[in-house]
C-alpha cells in the first residue's frame, strides 16, 4: 500500500503580503536605528559625567555615619553606580565620535560616489599610490565598518550597563539578607560576612556548573557511556539560570556579538570593562583623600605636612576636597578670643570597634543610657580613646560635651580651651587616638598636630 506524500504548505497571497510588510517595516526600523542611537548617545553622554560628583557627595555624607555591613552596602552602591556612569559616558562619547565619522563618510558618498580618484593625486608617487590603493576599502567598505563599529559600541555599552545594574541589585539583596542574618545573630558582622562569602561561593559554583557538566557529558559520550542524567541536570541548571531576569535580558545580545566576533577577545574586553567600572569609584575616593594622585613633592612631603598644617584641621579652610577627612578641628589658624573651640569628630566606622573593647561601662559599645547620663557616658567613652595636649600640657576631655554639627554633617565632642595665660604667638595642639593601638591596620594609633597662632585683640 503506497503512502501519499505529505501535503505541501500552501503559500497564499496574504502570507506574501504579510512577509513583505514585515520586511519593509524592519527596513524602516533599521533606517531609524542610527537616528535613535545618536539621540540616546547625545542625550546621555555628557549628562552622565556630572552624575558621579553628586553620587560622591551623597556617599561621603552618608558613609561618615555608618560602619560594618551598612558601610559595605553604601560603598558597593556608590562604586557600581559611579563606574556605570563613567563607563556609559565614555562609551557613548566614543559611539558619538564613530557615528559622526560614519555620517561624514555617508555625506562624501552622496557627493563623490566613486570615492577616491587616484588619478588626481599627482604628488603621490606610484609606489605609495599602489600601496594605499591596495589597502583602501573604498567609501562603501569604510561606511560599513564604521556603521558596524558604532552599533557594536552601542550594544556592548548597553550590555555592560545591564550587567552592572543587575550586579548592583543582586548585591543589595545579598547584603540586605546578610544584615538580617547579622541582626539575628546579635548584630555580629562576622556572621554577616560568612553569609556573604557562602552566597558568593554558591553563585560562583552555579555559574561554573554548566561548563563542568558539559565537560562531563562530553567525556562520558566519548567513552560510550550514558549521560542522560547529566543532561537532565544540565538542562535543569540552565532553566534555573534562565529564570534570572538579567540573564534573559542580555542573552540574545551577548550571544549575537560573541558568536560574530572572536569569542575570547570579546569576553576579555567585556569583563575588563566591568572590572574597570568597579574600580573607578575607589579611584575617585582615593583622589579625594589624597592631595594629589600624581605629584613630585620631594621636599614638602606628606609626612612634613602632617606635622605642619592641614586645611582639614581648620574650619575656615575646609573645602569639598576635605569632605572625607573627619579630623579634629578648630575654627581658624589665628585665634583672638579668650576661648578656643576644639571639635573632635566621632567616626562610627573607626570608633565603634575600639569602643567595644575599651569602653567597658558600655555593654557591647552601645550607649543605651537615657537623659543627661547619655551625654556623660558618651564623653567618658571617647575620653578613653583620645589624648589631647596643648603645648605639652594635658587637656581634660571630661569637660567636653557631645555636639551635633549640621554644618559639617558630623557628631563629636566639643570643648572650649581657655586662652588666658597664653603668650601671643604660636601654640600647638597634639591629639592622639587609640594610643595603645597597633602601628598598622584600621585600629592603628593616629596622631594629629594642629598649630595655631594666638593674637588677642
Residue 102 sits in the same domain as residue 45: yes
Residue 168 sits in the same domain as residue 220: yes
Does 415 map to a domain? yes
Q: What is the DSSP letter of 91?
A: H
Q: How far apart are CA 189 and CA 38, in angstroms?
A: 47
Does residue 400 have a pLDDT over 90?
A: yes
> Which of 249, 264, 289 is at the close of a domain?
289
- What does the radius of gyration of the chain's CA atoms come to, in whole angstroms? 33
Residue in 253, 285, 276 with CA at minimum distance from that of residue 91:
276
Give the pLDDT of residue 339: 93
Does 30 map to a domain? yes
Q: How confident is the model at residue 333 (pLDDT cuts 50, 70, 90)?
A: very high
- Using the Cα atoms of residue 286, residue 287, residue 290 and residue 294 in order, give the sign of their dihedral: positive
Maximal CA-CA distance, the chain: 125
388: how many CB neighbours lie within 10 A of its CB? 23
Does residue 85 have a pLDDT over 50?
A: yes
Residue 237 sits in the same domain as residue 311: no
Residue 159 sits in the same domain as residue 67: yes
Does 3 map to a domain? no
Q: What is the mean pLDDT of residues 296-313?
A: 88
Q: What is the mean pLDDT of residues 162-188?
A: 80
Residue 313 sits in the same domain as residue 412: yes
Give the pLDDT of residue 3: 46
Alpha helices in 112-185 (DSSP H): 126-135, 138-184
Residue 328 sits in the same domain as residue 227: no
Residue 347 sits in the same domain as residue 274: no
> Which of 263, 289, 315 is at the close of a domain?
289
Cα distance between the two ends of the chain: 123
Does 223 map to a domain? yes
Number of domains in the chain: 2
Residue 136 sits in the same domain as residue 207: yes
Is residue 44 classed exposed, middle or buried when 0-12, 13-18 and 19+ CB atoms within 10 A define those classes?
Answer: middle
Region of poorest pLDDT, from 56-65, 239-248, 291-300: 239-248
Does 204 map to a domain? yes
CA angle, residues 81, 273, 321, in degrees to nearest 5:
45
DSSP string of 295-321? Answer: ---SSS-HHHHHTS--GGGBTTT--GG
On whether the CB atoms of residues 348 and 366 are closer than 8 A, the answer is no
Where on the phi/psi map is residue 186: left (φ > 0), alpha (ψ -120 to 50), or beta? left
Give the pLDDT of residue 77: 84
Residue-wise pLDDT tens digits, 190-244: 787 888 888 888 878 877 888 888 888 888 888 888 888 888 888 888 877 777 7
What's this model's pTM, rounded to 2 decimal places? 0.71
Residue 238 sits in the same domain as residue 313: no
Give the pLDDT of residue 330: 95
Residue 38 sits in the same domain as residue 151: yes
Give the pLDDT of residue 26: 47
> Which of 289, 323, 346 is at the close of a domain?
289
**62-66 long-range contacts, CB within 8 A, separation 24+:** 63/349, 64/326, 64/345, 64/347, 64/348, 64/349, 64/409, 64/410, 65/348, 66/348, 66/349
Show the cell assigned to 110. Answer: 552622496
Does residue 157 have a pLDDT over 70?
A: yes
Q: How far apart are CA 219 and CA 224, in angstroms?
A: 9
Residue-wise pLDDT tens digits, 388-398: 999 999 999 99
Q: How far apart are CA 411 and CA 327, in angstroms?
A: 12
Give the pLDDT of residue 5: 47
Does 12 map to a domain? no
Look up the domain containing 75 and give its range: 17-289
More confident residue, 159 or 449: 449
Show the cell assigned to 255. Answer: 550571544
Give the pLDDT of residue 27: 52
Residue 274 sits in the same domain as residue 397: no
What is the overall mean pLDDT for the chain? 82
In the three-class reduction of DSSP (H, G, I as helix; E, B as strand; rest coil), residue 54 is classed as helix
Q: What is the DSSP letter of 35?
A: H
Residue 429 sits in the same domain as residue 376: yes
Percent of the chain with pLDDT over 70: 89
Does residue 404 have a pLDDT over 90?
A: yes
Q: What is the mean pLDDT of residues 254-269?
A: 75
Amino acid at each position: 500500500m503506497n503512502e501519499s506524500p505529505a501535503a505541501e504548505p500552501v503559500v497564499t497571497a496574504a502570507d506574501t503580503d504579510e512577509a513583505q510588510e514585515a520586511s519593509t517595516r524592519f527596513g524602516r526600523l533599521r533606517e531609524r536605528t542610527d537616528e535613535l542611537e545618536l539621540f540616546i548617545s547625545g542625550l546621555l553622554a555628557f549628562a552622565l559625567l556630572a552624575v558621579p560628583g553628586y553620587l560622591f557627595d551623597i556617599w561621603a555624607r552618608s558613609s561618615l555615619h555608618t560602619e560594618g555591613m551598612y558601610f559595605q552596602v553604601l560603598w558597593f552602591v556608590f562604586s557600581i553606580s559611579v563606574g556605570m556612569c563613567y563607563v556609559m559616558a565614555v562609551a557613548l562619547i566614543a559611539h558619538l565620535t564613530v557615528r559622526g565619522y560614519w555620517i561624514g563618510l555617508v555625506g562624501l558618498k552622496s557627493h563623490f560616489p566613486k570615492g577616491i580618484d587616484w588619478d588626481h593625486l599627482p604628488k603621490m608617487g606610484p609606489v605609495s599610490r599602489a600601496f594605499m590603493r591596495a589597502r583602501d576599502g573604498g567609501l562603501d567598505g569604510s561606511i560599513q565598518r564604521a556603521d558596524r563599529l558604532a552599533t557594536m559600541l552601542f550594544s556592548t555599552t548597553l550590555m555592560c550597563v545591564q550587567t552592572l545594574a543587575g550586579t548592583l541589585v543582586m548585591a543589595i539583596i545579598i547584603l540586605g539578607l546578610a544584615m538580617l542574618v547579622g541582626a539575628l545573630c546579635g548584630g555580629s558582622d562576622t556572621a554577616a560576612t560568612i553569609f556573604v562569602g557562602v552566597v558568593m561561593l554558591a553563585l560562583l559554583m552555579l555559574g561554573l556548573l554548566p561548563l563542568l557538566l558539559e565537560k562531563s557529558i562530553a567525556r562520558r559520550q566519548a567513552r560510550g557511556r550514558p549521560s542522560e542524567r547529566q543532561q537532565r541536570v544540565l538542562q535543569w541548571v540552565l532553566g534555573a539560570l534562565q529564570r534570572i531576569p538579567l540573564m534573559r535580558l542580555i542573552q540574545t545580545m551577548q550571544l549575537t556579538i560573541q558568536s560574530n566576533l572572536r569569542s575570547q577577545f570579546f569576553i576579555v574586553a567585556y569583563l575588563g570593562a566591568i572590572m574597570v567600572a568597579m574600580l573607578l569609584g575607589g579611584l575617585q575616593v582615593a583622589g579625594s583623600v589624597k592631595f594629589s594622585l600624581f605629584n613630585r613633592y620631594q621636599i614638602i612631603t606628606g609626612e612634613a605636612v602632617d606635622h605642619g598644617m592641614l586645611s582639614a584641621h581648620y574650619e575656615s579652610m575646609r573645602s569639598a576636597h576635605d569632605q572625607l577627612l573627619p579630623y579634629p578641628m578648630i575654627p581658624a589658624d589665628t585665634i583672638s578670643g579668650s576661648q578656643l573651640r576644639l571639635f573632635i569628630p566621632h567616626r562610627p566606622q573607626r570608633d565603634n570597634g575600639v569602643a567595644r573593647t575599651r569602653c567597658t561601662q558600655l555593654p557591647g559599645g552601645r550607649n543605651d543610657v537615657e537623659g543627661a547620663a547619655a551625654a556623660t557616658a558618651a564623653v567618658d567613652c571617647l575620653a578613653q580613646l583620645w589624648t589631647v595636649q596643648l603645648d605639652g600640657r594635658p587637656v581634660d576631655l571630661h569637660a567636653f560635651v557631645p555636639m551635633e554639627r549640621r554644618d559639617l554633617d558630623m557628631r563629636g565632642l566639643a570643648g572650649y580651651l581657655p586662652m588666658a595665660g597664653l603668650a601671643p604667638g604660636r601654640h600647638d595642639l597634639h591629639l592622639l587616638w587609640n594610643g595603645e593601638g597597633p602601628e598598622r591596620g584600621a585600629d592603628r594609633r593616629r596622631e594629629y598636630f594642629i598649630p595655631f597662632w594666638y593674637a588677642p585683640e
